[in-house]
């Protein structure tokens, strides 16, 4: 057998000048493990988040003002009383529209166009290529130079909206410091909400677009000491972007799951104050 794109004259694996190798790959290690784990992890999140975004149950704990990030901000009259921290300017929504419809498409867009997730699904889902030194099944490679993938360039605009959503999630986490008697109080749920928000900020600020917006296109760092300082801090976070991308998928699920379980009365929220 020849490699999948051996007849191609473009710039795929069969392009002139590329080594002709009969085997699909000469790698003998478990190169497929990472793509498999990536697909399993991403699919699990998409299924969980997809179901939870639509069910409209157990997303708010009235006693402690815990709101799951999947329903924030909840601005429709269909939202349960108390869960709308920013009012209800929108009337009732039909069941096929998630109550978090304002933020969810932007958050989805932010993640789909994220430089890390692009790498993840280009490799693991589209096999372009599945791993280093493993031939891809596609005859041509045009990168992100034309439709539809050229649209990935809108990532920075999703970043701006995602930063606003992080502010909203931060507000949700702050108003949740609410005790049984109405004053200050906190329990395990607050720590989970807070931990999630901190991780969301870390992920959002570690964005490649954020790094570029902060310190890109500067000719002289010495003339922009503040931007240079911010850029160096964001660069440190940026080095961990992949890790933060996965951690935040985990903290989002954990936060939502916790709110769901407490809200459904599966177990009470352990309280530390009030």
Answer for the pair 27, 131: CB distance below 8 angstroms, yes or no: yes
Q: Nearest distance from residue 78's CB to ligand FES, in Å? A: 30
How many Cβ atoms from other residues are within 10 Å of residue 272's Cβ? 11
Q: Which is nearer to ligand FES, 45 or 115 (CB)?
A: 115
Dihedral sign of CA atoms 253, 259, 260, 261 in order: positive
Q: Nearest distance from residue 122's CB to ligand FES, in Å? A: 14
Answer for the pair 92, 80: CB distance below 8 angstroms, yes or no: no
Q: Which is nearer to ligand FES, 9 or 232 (CB)?
A: 232
- Least Cα distance to 57 among 266, 261, 273 occurs for 261
DSSP string, 234-267: HHHHHTTHHHHHHHHHHHHHHHHHHHHHHHTTSS
Q: Which is nearer to ligand FES, 3 or 248 (CB)?
A: 248
Q: Which is nearer to ligand FES, 72 or 204 (CB)?
A: 204
Q: Nearest distance from residue 136's CB to ligand FES, in Å? A: 23
Q: Nearest distance from residue 221's CB to ligand FES, in Å? A: 22
Q: Which is nearer to ligand FES, 56 or 208 (CB)?
A: 208
Q: Nearest distance from residue 265's CB to ligand FES, in Å? A: 36
Question: Cα–Cα distances in Å, from 165 out to 71, 104, 171, 197, 245?
Answer: 11, 9, 10, 10, 16
Q: Which is nearer to ligand FES, 79 or 205 (CB)?
A: 205
In whole angstroms, give the CA distance from residue 144 to residue 25: 25
Q: Nearest distance from residue 249's CB to ligand FES, in Å? A: 12
> Which positions lie near ligand FES, rule CB under 6 A?
110, 114-116, 155, 159, 207-209, 241
**214: phi then psi, degrees, rounded to nearest 5:** -75, -45
């Amino acid at each position: 057998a020849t490699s999948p794109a051996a007849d191609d004259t473009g710039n795929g694996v069969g392009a002139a000048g590329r080594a002709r190798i009969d085997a699909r790959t000469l790698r003998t290690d478990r190169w497929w493990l990472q793509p498999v784990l990536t697909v399993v992890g991403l699919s699990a999140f998409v299924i969980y988040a997809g179901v939870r975004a639509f069910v409209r149950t157990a997303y708010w704990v009235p006693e402690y003002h815990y709101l799951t990030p999947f329903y924030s901000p909840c601005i429709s009259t269909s939202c349960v009383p108390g869960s709308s921290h920013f009012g209800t300017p929108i009337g009732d929504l039909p069941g096929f529209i998630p109550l978090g419809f304002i933020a969810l498409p932007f958050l989805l867009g932010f993640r789909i166009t994220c430089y890390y997730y692009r790498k993840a699904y280009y490799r693991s889902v589209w096999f372009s290529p599945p791993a280093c030194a493993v031939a891809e099944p596609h005859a041509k490679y045009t990168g992100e130079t034309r439709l539809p993938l050229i649209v990935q360039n809108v990532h920075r605009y999703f970043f701006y909206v995602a930063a606003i959503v992080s502010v909203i999630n931060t507000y949700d986490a702050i108003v949740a410091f609410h005790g049984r008697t109405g004053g200050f109080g906190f329990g395990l749920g607050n720590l989970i909400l807070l931990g999630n928000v901190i991780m969301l900020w870390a992920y959002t600020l570690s964005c490649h677009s954020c790094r570029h917006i902060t310190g890109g296109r500067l000719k002289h760092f010495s003339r922009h000491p503040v931007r240079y300082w911010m850029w160096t801090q964001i660069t440190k976070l940026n080095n961990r972007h992949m890790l933060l991308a996965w951690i935040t998928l985990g903290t989002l699920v954990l936060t939502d799951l916790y709110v769901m379980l407490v809200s459904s009365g599966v177990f009470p929220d352990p309280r530390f104050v009030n």
